[in-house]
Amino acid sequence: MPGKIDSRLAELAITLPTPPAPVASYVPYVVSGKQVFISGQVTVAPDGLKYLGIVGKDLTLDDGRAAARLCAVNVLAQLKAAAGDLDRVKRCVKLGVFVNAVPGFTQHPEVANGASDLIVEVFGDAGRHARAAVGAGSLPRNVAVEVEAVFELA
């Protein structure tokens, strides 16, 4: 029988993918005590990388927001692998959102909302979190957005 969070994902028509494997020398997550640290997740979809390029040049603000949402889906996939059951999640503590943007771009928070809004949609008040939204001169594989996260388990 699906848990509360799995049911919520189904309501939102979100199917978590197989967690993406690391592409370098790191692990996808670390569990330390009751905290889960999720390594940066990029815009990997089942059929490959999406949202490649620079926000404000190759991609629009809406594209950036969608890219952040896709990263958050991958964060949730890693979180489920780490926790085993998303109902064990007590809260989202923090998101770090990195935006591959043109110099002078100032709408990083709006891009980051793509990830933040999804986490709140899934976890409700327990999804409300601290956050950093940071501009980057480039990101791995030329993706538009990368999102890292910290969660607390019950």
Question: What's the pLDDT tens digit per position in 100-149?
Answer: 999 999 999 999 999 999 999 999 999 999 999 999 999 999 999 999 99
Q: Taking the CB of residue 138, how many other CB atoms lie within 10 A of it? A: 10
Q: Which CATH number fits domain 4-19+29-153: 3.30.70.260, 3.10.450.50, 3.30.1330.40, 3.20.20.150?
A: 3.30.1330.40
Question: What's the pLDDT tens digit per position in 8-67?
Answer: 999 999 999 999 888 899 999 999 999 999 999 999 999 999 999 999 999 999 999 999
Q: How far apart are CA 123 and CA 10, in angstroms?
A: 13
Domain extents for the chain? Answer: 4-19+29-153
Q: In one letter, which amino acid is 44?
A: V
Structure tokens at 96: 């770090």
What single-letter DSSP state applies at residue 60? -
Q: Taking the CB of residue 135, how many other CB atoms lie within 10 A of it? A: 18
